[in-house]
C-alpha cells in the first residue's frame, strides 16, 4: 500500500432533534404515514453512500427511546443548548469523531430530502482540506418566497463563497425595469463542517449581524471564515407546523399512488 496515499476523511451525519417547539410540540415523533418523522429522516440519511455513520443528537428521552426502537444510534446531549449547532458540536465530541472528519448537519424536520443534497454539501470539504464549512442554496422559483423572511436569501462571490445571508431580499434592485430582475437564491438548512472548525465555531461570541438577523451562519462570515455555497436542484420541505406535516404526508401518498399506477400500467 502506498504510504503517501491520502485517506479520505470520515463523513458523519448528525441529526439534532428536540421535543419542545413553539409551533409544533413533539415534532420529531409526529407520525408521517405511520412512521415517526425522525425515523424517516434517519432512514434517508442511511441511504446516502457517502455517509459512514449516522446519529441523532437529542436531550429528550422520548426521542432517544424512539430512535433506539427502530435501531438507530442516538447521542444524549445537554438540555441547555441555544441552537442545533451547539448540540451538533457536543454530539460530535461525545462520538469521538476525528478532528478532520466532515460532520453534516441534517435537519430533523426535512423528511423528504434528496440523498444527493448530502453528497453535494459534503463534497467541497473533501475536495479542499482548508475549507471550514459548506451549505446549500436553491434558486427561488416561487415569487412569494423572495420577501418572506422565513426564506433566507444569500449572495456569493465568483468562487461560490458566501458574501452575506439575509431575511431581506438581496440583492436589492434599485431601478426596477432598467435591467432584468435579479436571480434570488435561498438558503437550505444543510451544513457540512470540518469537525475541528465546528468546535471553533460554537466557541465564538455571537456576531453583531447574527444578532440582528438571527442567522448563525453570519457569525462565521463576521469572524472571517469562508462558507462555500453549493447550488442544488433539490428544494427541501421543512415541517414547521401540523399543516406542513399534512402536506408531506399527502406528497408521500401521491407518490405511492403514482408508483402503483405505473406498476399497473406496466402490467
Tens of pLDDT, residues 182-239? 999 999 989 999 999 999 999 999 999 999 999 999 999 999 999 999 999 998 788 8
Lowest mean pLDDT among 14-28, 51-65, 142-156: 14-28
Residue 224: name the closest of 162, 160, 170 by CA. Answer: 162
Helix orientation angle between 61-69 and 37-46, rounded to the nearest 10 degrees: 50
Quote the CA–CA distance of 155 and 163 in Å, as a whole number.
6
Higher pLDDT, 143 or 255: 143
CATH number of 11-266: 3.90.550.10
Q: What is the pLDDT of residues 95-111, one digit of tens each?
A: 999 999 999 999 888 89
Residues 150-182 as b or e (16 or more Cβ within 10 Å = b): ebbbbbbeeeeebebbbbebbeeeeeeeeeeee
Does the pLDDT of residue 253 top 60, yes or no?
yes
Residue 3: predicted pLDDT? 43
Cβ neighbourhood burial of 255 (10 Å; 0-12, 13-18, 19+): exposed
Strands 11-17, 53-58: pairing is: parallel
Does the pLDDT of residue 163 top 90, yes or no?
yes
Q: What is the pLDDT of residues 72-81, one digit of tens each?
A: 999 999 988 8
Q: State the chain's mean pLDDT as an integer.
A: 90
Quote the CA–CA distance of 177 and 181 in Å, as a whole number.
8
Q: Give the count of alpha carbons within 13 A of 3, CB side only.
A: 0
Residue 2: predicted pLDDT? 45
CB 184 within 8 A of CB 140: yes
| Three cell numbers written together for 16 | 439534532
Residue 1: predicted pLDDT? 40
How many Cβ atoms sit within 10 Å of the Cβ of residue 140?
18
Does the pLDDT of residue 247 top 60, yes or no?
yes
How distant is the alpha carbon of residue 16 from its chain centre? 10
Q: What is the pLDDT of residues 32-73, one digit of tens each?
A: 888 999 999 999 999 999 999 999 999 999 999 999 999 999
At 262, the pLDDT band (50, 70, 90 cuts) reads: low
| Three cell numbers written together for 147 | 420577501
Residue 24: predicted pLDDT? 83
Amino acid at each position: 500500500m502506498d504510504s503517501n496515499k491520502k485517506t479520505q476523511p470520515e463523513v458523519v451525519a448528525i441529526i439534532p432533534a428536540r421535543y419542545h417547539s413553539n409551533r409544533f410540540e413533539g415534532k420529531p415523533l409526529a407520525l408521517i404515514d405511520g412512521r415517526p418523522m425522525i425515523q424517516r429522516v434517519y432512514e434517508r440519511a442511511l441511504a446516502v453512500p457517502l455517509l459512514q455513520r449516522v446519529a441523532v443528537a437529542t436531550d429528550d428521552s422520548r426521542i432517544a427511546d424512539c430512535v433506539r426502537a427502530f435501531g438507530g444510534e442516538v447521542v444524549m446531549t445537554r438540555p441547555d443548548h441555544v441552537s442545533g449547532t451547539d448540540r451538533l458540536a457536543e454530539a460530535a465530541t461525545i462520538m469521538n469523531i476525528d478532528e478532520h472528519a466532515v460532520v453534516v448537519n441534517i435537519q430533523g424536520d426535512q423528511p423528504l430530502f434528496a440523498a444527493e443534497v448530502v453528497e453535494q454539501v459534503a463534497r467541497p470539504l473533501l475536495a479542499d482540506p482548508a475549507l471550514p464549512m459548506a451549505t446549500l442554496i436553491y434558486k427561488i422559483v416561487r415569487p412569494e418566497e423572495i420577501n418572506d423572511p422565513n426564506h433566507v436569501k444569500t449572495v456569493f462571490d465568483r468562487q461560490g463563497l458566501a458574501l452575506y445571508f439575509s431575511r431581506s431580499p438581496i440583492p436589492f434592485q434599485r431601478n426596477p425595469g432598467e435591467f432584468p430582475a435579479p436571480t434570488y437564491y435561498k438558503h437550505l438548512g444543510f451544513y457540512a463542517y470540518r469537525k475541528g472548525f465546528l468546535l471553533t465555531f460554537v466557541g465564538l461570541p455571537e456576531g453583531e449581524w447574527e444578532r440582528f438577523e438571527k442567522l448563525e451562519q453570519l457569525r462565521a462570515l463576521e469572524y472571517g471564515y469562508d462558507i462555500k455555497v453549493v447550488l442544488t436542484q433539490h428544494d427541501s420541505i421543512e415541517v414547521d407546523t401540523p399543516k406542513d406535516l399534512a402536506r408531506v404526508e399527502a406528497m408521500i401518498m401521491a407518490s405511492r399512488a403514482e408508483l402503483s399506477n405505473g406498476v399497473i400500467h406496466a402490467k
